[in-house]
Structure 1
Amino acid sequence: MRRAVYLSAIPVLAAAIFISTGAHAGVAEGKKAFEARKCASCHQVAGPAAEKTIKDQLSKKGPELWYSGSKFKAGFLEKWRADPRPIRPLAYNSVTERNTGGHPMLSGQEKADVAAYLMSLKSADVKPLGIQAADNPKGRIAFVRKHSCYGCHQVRTRGSLVGGFSGPSLAEASERLNPDWVYAYLSKPSVFKPVKMMPVYAGIINDAEMKGLAAYVGSLR
């Protein structure tokens, strides 16, 4: 009887091992594909932030990805890799040149594997606070009136894109950004982007307002 129980358990155990191994295989294969395509020549994937001076920042060709698993929502990277439309209206590190796109496109299993690898890259500075995306009055007032965030970031209103070009677009941020990361980025800017054009709000915006702003940004469509 025991022999029968043991034998019946083998397929279940084998399936569990296969599922577990398969889940990690995507990350490993994604890292190999990322390296083979020389993506790291434009994107930093090992933290902490490398830039210390303006010269350091200007030498970079693309945004850092070493905290992408904390920044992005599940599913976004795989979808974006298949149709890499520009998120920034202007070319990286430029204040005049339009972003014409041209980011390499991925498809099939490679797309899924690279997305899995990037989503495995997380920052311990992004705490799981459970901030829920919400169009809340406190966040809206901070974004629109108090700090005029749309002066640098595009948003969609009444079906049209409005706002500035110097920062990444926040239209469809609800599909892209984790509100907990938005809060961490606002509260600890030196961790994620020591050299940047965006104003530092840590110490200026109180914690409740910052969480409201993070929730609001996370709700933008």
Structure 2
Amino acid sequence: MMKGIPVKLRLTLGIAAALAASVHVAAHADTAADVKQQCGSCHALDRDYAKAAKHERAERKAPPLDFAGNKFRREWLYSWLQNPVRLRPAGVFPPAHAKPSADGDVVDTTTLAKHPALDAAQAGKVADYLMTLTPFDGLIAAETYQPGTIAQRMGQMNFGKFKGCDGCHQDAPDTGGVSGPELYTAWQRLQPAFISAYIAQPAAWDPHTMMPVGDANTAAVHKLANYLKLIGEKQP
């Protein structure tokens, strides 16, 4: 490709390319170090937590991010990091944020930490780094889910009455349980293949998850995924 280009110029171009590559590697390393320093105190960024005792789940301050690149949509990460909103009404370990009341246990919101907002440049770097964390490419590659459709009423009945997902999750604001993340924006933030793969095998992703394995046949899993697609596409 460099035929006809003077030797000195070829050497100069080669050196420039090498320097650019080294700068890119150094920048990635710097971002990784920053993320580990600033985010690692709350989020697990490697698989070591999976080897810990079960009580590790109770000590979490935030969900693990070691498979963020298999889980999230990059554009959502970039936006959310600049304007973080709470996804888990009762935090990552609900018993730690419950307090008694006349109506039973309620969420003590004063105990819930707020996620810091990043500027656009920081958010872009962090999002790009998190998208490199992909230890479960095999699970994603094996996934057969193709987004489809489902009737609103049938999807809602399946989510709540038949599968009981609303015991932990919300499929609309302030509608449903609070011990799991809200799911009415799940389609916006999560990759479709991840949604299906996680519903089918939650413990394969997080061995300490509190999410049960329900009716894990493929058709049932895809029906739930399609409902999350339906309600997610209606969100602003």
The answer to whether the Cα contact below 8 Å between 1:70 and 1:119 also exists between their aligned partners in 2 is yes
Name which of structure 1's ranges 88-97 and 78-87 shifts more when overlaid on structure 2.
Answer: 88-97
Is 1:136 the counterpart of 2:147? The answer is no
Instruction: Report deviation, 1:175.
Output: 0.9
* Gapped regions of structure 1 (runs ≥ 5): none
Q: In 2, distance between residues paired with 1:89 and 1:25?
A: 38
The answer to whether the Cα contact below 8 Å between 2:91 and 2:179 also exists between their aligned partners in 1 is no
1:180: which partner in 2?
193
2:221: which partner in 1?
210
1:103 is paired with a residue whose SS is coil
Q: Normalized per residue, which structure has more helix?
A: 2
1:105: which partner in 2?
117
Instruction: Report deviation, 1:64.
Output: 0.4
Note the 1:26-45 alignment, pairs <5 A.
Answer: 27-37=28-38, 39-45=39-45
Q: Which amino acid in structure 1 is aligned with residue 68 of structure 2?
A: S
Q: Which amino acid in structure 1 is aligned with residue 222 of structure 2?
A: K
CA 1:43–1:5 in 2, change beyond 3 Å: closer, same or farther? same
Once the two structures are superposed, residues 20-63 of structure 1 have per-residue CA deviations (whole angstroms, 9 ceiling, x without a partner) of 778766643421221232x1111111126526544121122210
Q: In 2, distance between residues paired with 1:174 and 1:28?
A: 31
1:114: which partner in 2?
126
Is 1:166 the counterpart of 2:179? The answer is yes
The answer to whether the Cα contact below 8 Å between 1:45 and 1:65 also exists between their aligned partners in 2 is yes
2:193 is paired with a residue whose SS is helix
1:155 is paired with a residue whose SS is strand
2:101: which partner in 1?
none
CA 1:216–1:24 in 2, change beyond 3 Å: closer, same or farther? farther
C-alpha RMSD of matched pairs (Å): 3.3
The answer to whether the Cα contact below 8 Å between 1:174 and 1:217 also exists between their aligned partners in 2 is yes
Higher RCO (CA-CA < 8 Å; seq separation 6+): 1
Larger Rg computed on CA atoms: 2
Instruction: Report deviation, 1:220.
Output: 2.8
* Gapped regions of structure 2 (runs ≥ 5): 99-106
The answer to whether the Cα contact below 8 Å between 1:42 and 1:61 also exists between their aligned partners in 2 is yes
Question: Kindly, what percent of the aligned residue pairs are identical?
Answer: 28
1:195: which partner in 2?
208
Q: Which amino acid in structure 2 is aligned with residue 74 of structure 1?
A: R
CA 1:24–1:216 in 2, change beyond 3 Å: closer, same or farther? farther
Q: What count of residue pairs does the alignment treat as equivalent?
A: 215
TM-score by length of 2: 0.74
Is 1:148 the counterpart of 2:164? The answer is yes
CA 1:184–1:5 in 2, change beyond 3 Å: closer, same or farther? farther
